Structure 1
Amino acid sequence: MLLLAWPIGLLVWANGKIQHVEALSGAAGTPGETYLLAGSDARGEGISEDGTEGARTDTIMLLHKPRSGPASLISLPRDTYAEIPGKGASKLNAAYSWGGAPLLVQTVEQLTGLTVDHYIEIGFGGVEGIVDAVGGVELCLDYDVDDARSELVWTAGCHPADGPTALAFSRMRYSDPQGDIGRAERQRQVIGAISKKAADKSLLLKPGTQVSLIDAGLASLVVDEKTGIIDLGKMALAFRAANGPGGITGTPPISNPDYRPGGVGSTVQLDPDLSPAFWADVRDGKLPAGVVGGLPQS
């Protein structure tokens, strides 16, 4: 009875700690299950270096589990040039600054053609707590970094990272030769490393660690009005599948990483010819397993 009561009680307790926000658009569903993951950063210093005022989201990922075929985890560069409903064309992360979760959801749906079934937002500060709760993670980067903006100091290779280091690893882009694209790859690496540690079977014998991990994660987590703890569990399984050998990770097809349409600075232009078919293949599970997208090949 105790073995049965503990996980049930843990689920009930965890479900009660989840914070909710109005986010979903109510659009007609598309096949499969689609999760929009956003890493938010509430900036209290006014206007940021790219001209975006107030809160913004520097991490935007679309996780899709099709009815059949491989799961995919696609990073949308925060500077993606996109049409924002009611606002005109701008950088994708401006949608969150202007209209929070609802406008970001609508913008992503318009950009991809996929209806968002679940919205999950985590504050950047939560990354530190989660990484520390799992006892740190191992991260890899093949070049030295001493980046003043993110405060990441790194020697080429693989090293154990605590919470603050993992956060800096996730945020660094000015010292990355691939800029926002490289940062997206590192963000997926951090989340994958956390998932691997959290899936460790030894946690079953560590109830205190279970509570600390859930508490750290849910304290900085905000989800849409319909998502509960079971949905988050399904998301974790889909995320694990996408990051596995049979899954898909990467970005949409990019035609210009320094597109300057005027008025919004440097943006990332998705390939207008390849993108529609790409998102249809994501939806239908037709993409082959592996890494997709990235910077255009010269």
Structure 2
Amino acid sequence: MAQRPGSGDSDEERFNWLYGGSGSPGSPGSEPEPDATRRMPVQPRPQPTSRPAPQPAQRPAPQPVQPPAQPPTQHGRGGRSWRPRPRLRHLVLLLVAWIVFLVAVPIYAWTRVDDVAFAPGGERPDEQPGTTYLLVGSDSREGLTPEQRKEFGTGNAAGQRTDTIMLLHTGSGPNLLMSIPRDSLVEVPDRGTTKINAAYAFGGPKLLVKTIEQNTGIHIDEYVEIGIGGFVGLVDAVGGVEICPEKAMQDPLANLDVEAGCQEADGVTALGYARSRKTYTALGDVQRAQAQREVVSSVGDEVLSPWSVLNPVRYWRLNMAATDTVEFGKGMTPWRAGMWAMAMTRVNGENGLTCGVPIQDLAVNWDPDRAPQMFQAIIDDDTDRIGQGLCSPSGLPKGTTG
């Protein structure tokens, strides 16, 4: 075993002992001993390179903000164009605006209504169940221009008379629309027996109401009056009505010239159809009353049409025409007026009854048996019991002519 050199050994001996060399360090030919420690070659370490001094951080230059891309306005593939979807809140606002319009127009129109004092003084029938409206069509020319008188075929007669008299009863049973021909012979208070339309000419709405109440026993709850010009305006406001004359009708004095069969009629034609006195030769005034109910019912059907509400122009014109040309009795409320208008649309078929007042002859004398039965059914609000024996288009007994 090799001995570790002592402190007295030379540097060369110590070198040889550590690295296994027998000669001087690095001398050629010197071999290490078998158990001597071998010297492994050492790889030189890379020298560190100089690094550049750190530079302060620099912020990137701000980039300009690009505007948002505009949606394409030209048609793309398939011919479709890009459109933004409507927002729900926009639809809600539109719906609210429409509801406000539907409510505001009648309220505004009602501010233009003229009211009429119709309730007579003295003794009247007691209040009765249901509601009975008196509908009067006046043939007064007041307010018509010369051009309108010529167009409507009204002539220049002075004063005012009732061209149409109807009772509309609503209640627990079917609605009943009953015509009272203006030539009906009745007892007019303080005037004796005469035609019923004379009551209006003598004393206006109050005397007419008193005459009807005393001759029928029916209490009149509400009053509605419409003039010639208003009738034309109302028909035109709903876009015309359907009339169904059984034969061709020509009456130059009423500006009427229509063919037989169902057809659309404007306001002037409908007016002539409802008031012509020369073309209804079979039943005279009784037949005219049937035509008047036909036109009134047709107006009601058009008012009830959804188009009268969905079309804002038509809705506006209808409300304005109704309040500009129709006079309501004092005490009529917008709610009651609306009920009257709705009831006028429910007088046909299963919804109601349309009749002439029961008469016994074409001289328009009321039937002494059948007429009181009709009146009592209205007084009792029991229109369900009114059968064909009482309700006929002409008012004559069923099987006679009407």
Native 8 Å contact 1:75 1:252 kept in 2: yes
Native 8 Å contact 2:160 2:201 kept in 1: yes
% identical equivalent positions: 38
Comparing 17-26 with 73-82, greater Cα deviation is found at: 17-26
Give, in whole Å, the separation in 2 of the partners of 1:113 and 1:238. Answer: 22
SS in 2 for 1:119: strand
Native 8 Å contact 2:169 2:378 kept in 1: yes
TM-score by length of 1: 0.88
In structure 1, runs of 5+ residues without a counterpart are 45-51, 259-267
Structure 1 residue 149: Cα displacement? 3.0
Matched, 1:190 2:295: yes
Structure 1 residue 8: Cα displacement? 2.5
Give, in whole Å, the separation in 2 of the partners of 1:29 and 1:234. Answer: 19
Aligned to 2:211: 107
Structure 1 residue 219: Cα displacement? 1.4
Give, in whole Å, the separation in 2 of the partners of 1:202 and 1:273. Answer: 45
Matched, 1:8 2:113: no
Give, in whole Å, the separation in 2 of the partners of 1:187 and 1:168. Answer: 10
Aligned to 2:376: 280
SS in 2 for 1:276: helix
Native 8 Å contact 2:218 2:378 kept in 1: no
Comparing 126-135 with 201-210, greater Cα deviation is found at: 201-210
**AA partner of residue 31 (structure 1):** P
SS in 1 for 2:377: helix
1:174-196, Cα deviation, whole Å (9 max, x unpaired): 21121111111111111111111
Give, in whole Å, the separation in 2 of the partners of 1:162 and 1:233. Answer: 24
Comparing 156-165 with 235-244, greater Cα deviation is found at: 235-244
Give, in whole Å, the separation in 1 of the partners of 2:243 and 2:396. Answer: 23
SS in 2 for 1:90: strand
Give, in whole Å, the separation in 1 of the partners of 2:136 and 2:221. Answer: 14
1:69-103, Cα deviation, whole Å (9 max, x unpaired): 11100000001111111222110000000000111
**AA partner of residue 35 (structure 1):** Y
Comparing 93-102 with 168-177, greater Cα deviation is found at: 168-177
Aligned to 1:264: none
SS in 1 for 2:137: strand
Aligned to 1:270: 366
**AA partner of residue 294 (structure 2):** Q
**AA partner of residue 111 (structure 1):** N
**AA partner of residue 234 (structure 1):** M
Matched, 1:80 2:184: yes
Aligned to 1:36: 134
Matched, 1:91 2:195: yes
Matched, 1:70 2:174: yes
Higher RCO (CA 8 Å, separation ≥ 6 residues): 1
Native 8 Å contact 1:118 1:227 kept in 2: yes
State the aligned residue count.
Answer: 281
Quick one: which of 307, 313, 334 aligns to 1:208? 313
**AA partner of residue 140 (structure 2):** A
Matched, 1:124 2:228: yes
Which structure is larger by alpha-carbon Rg, 1 or 2? 2
SS in 1 for 2:350: coil
Give, in whole Å, the separation in 2 of the partners of 1:119 and 1:252. Answer: 19
Structure 1 residue 34: Cα displacement? 0.3
Native 8 Å contact 2:297 2:347 kept in 1: no
Comparing 230-239 with 277-286, greater Cα deviation is found at: 277-286
